[in-house]
Amino acid sequence: MKQLVTTIAVALALAPALSNAEPVKIGFISTLSGPSALLGQDILDGFNLAVEHSGGSLGGREVDLITGDDQLKPDVARQLADRMVLRDKVDIVTGIIWSNVMLAIAKPVLDSGTFVISPNAGPSQYAGVQCHPQYFAVGFQNDVPNEAMGMYMQDEGYDNVYLMAPNYPAGRDMLNGFKRYYKGKVSDEVYTQLGQLDYAAELAQLRAKKPNALYYFISGGPGINFVKQYAQAGLKDSVPLFAPGFSIDQTILPAVGDAGVGAMAASFWSADLDNDVNKKFVADFEAKFKRSPSPYAAQGYDTGMLINSALAKTNGDTSDKKAFQAALEQADFDSVRGNFKFNTNHYPIQDYYLVEVVKDADGKATWKTIKTIVQGHADSYAADCKMASK
């Protein structure tokens, strides 16, 4: 009996240590099939490279990464999230690309006490009144890259710009962001279907309006079709293309080639940003995956590094929610972007660059960073987030 009591006492004393010897469970919900599968693959590959660069673990804990393909369907994502939270008991849910998917899963995941760390989706809803202690956005708030481009196009004197985006929460955020700083005429503001692959009708409409520039947000497979159809319609040379970086990036350029050359974009990251962490990330990503990393890959990498830094601070523990939240808030890692910190609403404060699509020495379309548009830029919703009282 005495021995049994001793054994139980020892087991109890070891319990916290043992729980940290268990892998940290991370639910990775992303789009891994269909025309936009490369976005999810880039985030996943970037994330896994961060784990590799952190010695095969995160904050000293092994990683049990449970992946699920949301097929870009909010209801599929919801089923995956419920299963990961209830059955797999994940500590963190990440991977999410699309704001409509995020808006379908964030509440049930957060209500269960699980952390949500978004590598990409940056809906305005969670940046303001609905901000949440366990919700973090590593990429951007949707409005903000577009604000940067609005600033640039306003400064450059564009005064008749045609606007296009898919009709869903992120599409509306993006164009709202652009209009926050661009004050010229809006030739038209057109909302397409999310996932739409044929833009003939919109392009005919655009041609008739005779704008002097197009500002658009269309990412993934649909973005490839859009850029190709734009060039095929003969519009590329008469109406120059402007976009947030992630709509004319390395998930799109190999498929569109010359059709993208000359486009300008605003991005918080580029492969040519001159810092040591970025150089290693780009070189190792290219060596391992035989393709150029995109901003999605950079965001996946930073998400891994953020989790690594926070787990290191809590000795691998996520059970003390406030402690893990505080560790994440510090964002104590070197981002591939250079300057990066979290605002009070857990969305980034970061710099935005103007990038141009150019041809490299091999004739391959690539990004060239032209200049910094704005430094340390935060979103306009943070003032409505009363995090301290949550």
List contacts with ligand PHB (CB under 6 A). Answer: 97-99, 120-122, 142, 170, 219, 246
Smallest distance from ligand PHB to CB 268, Å: 12
Handedness of CA 328, 28, 168, 215 (dihedral sign): positive
Judged by DSSP in three states, 182 sits in coil
For ligand PHB, the closer of residues 58 and 252 by Cβ is 252
Smallest distance from ligand PHB to CB 171, Å: 8
For ligand PHB, the closer of residues 158 and 246 by Cβ is 246
Q: In whole angstroms, what is the distance from residue 194 CA to residue 196 CA? A: 6
Q: In whole angstroms, what is the distance from residue 103 CA to residue 75 CA? A: 11
Q: In whole angstroms, what is the distance from residue 321 CA to residue 324 CA? A: 5
Residue pair 32/42 in contact (Cβ under 8 Å)? The answer is no
Residue tagged 């005429």 (tokens): 185
Residues whose CB is less than 8 angstroms from the CB of residue 180 and which lie 6 or more positions away in sequence, other chains included:
143, 147, 150, 380
Among residues 84, 95, 32, the alpha carbon closest in space to that of 300 is found at 95
Judged by DSSP in three states, 321 sits in helix
Among residues 368, 323, 331, the alpha carbon closest in space to that of 349 is found at 331
Smallest distance from ligand PHB to CB 32, Å: 15
Smallest distance from ligand PHB to CB 87, Å: 27
Q: What burial class does residue 361 get, using C-beta atoms within 10 Å of its C-beta: 0-12 exposed, 13-18 middle, 19+ buried?
A: exposed
Q: In whole angstroms, what is the distance from residue 264 CA to residue 332 CA? A: 32
Smallest distance from ligand PHB to CB 15, Å: 40
For ligand PHB, the closer of residues 195 and 338 by Cβ is 195
Smallest distance from ligand PHB to CB 324, Å: 24
For ligand PHB, the closer of residues 122 and 316 by Cβ is 122
For ligand PHB, the closer of residues 68 and 122 by Cβ is 122
Residue pair 347/102 in contact (Cβ under 8 Å)? The answer is no
Q: In whole angstroms, what is the distance from residue 359 CA to residue 368 CA? A: 9
Smallest distance from ligand PHB to CB 142, Å: 5
Smallest distance from ligand PHB to CB 135, Å: 14
For ligand PHB, the closer of residues 324 and 352 by Cβ is 352
For ligand PHB, the closer of residues 162 and 246 by Cβ is 246
Residue pair 60/246 in contact (Cβ under 8 Å)? The answer is no
Q: In whole angstroms, what is the distance from residue 228 CA to residue 240 CA? A: 14
Written as six digits, the tokens of 319 are 């059970």
For ligand PHB, the closer of residues 24 and 252 by Cβ is 252
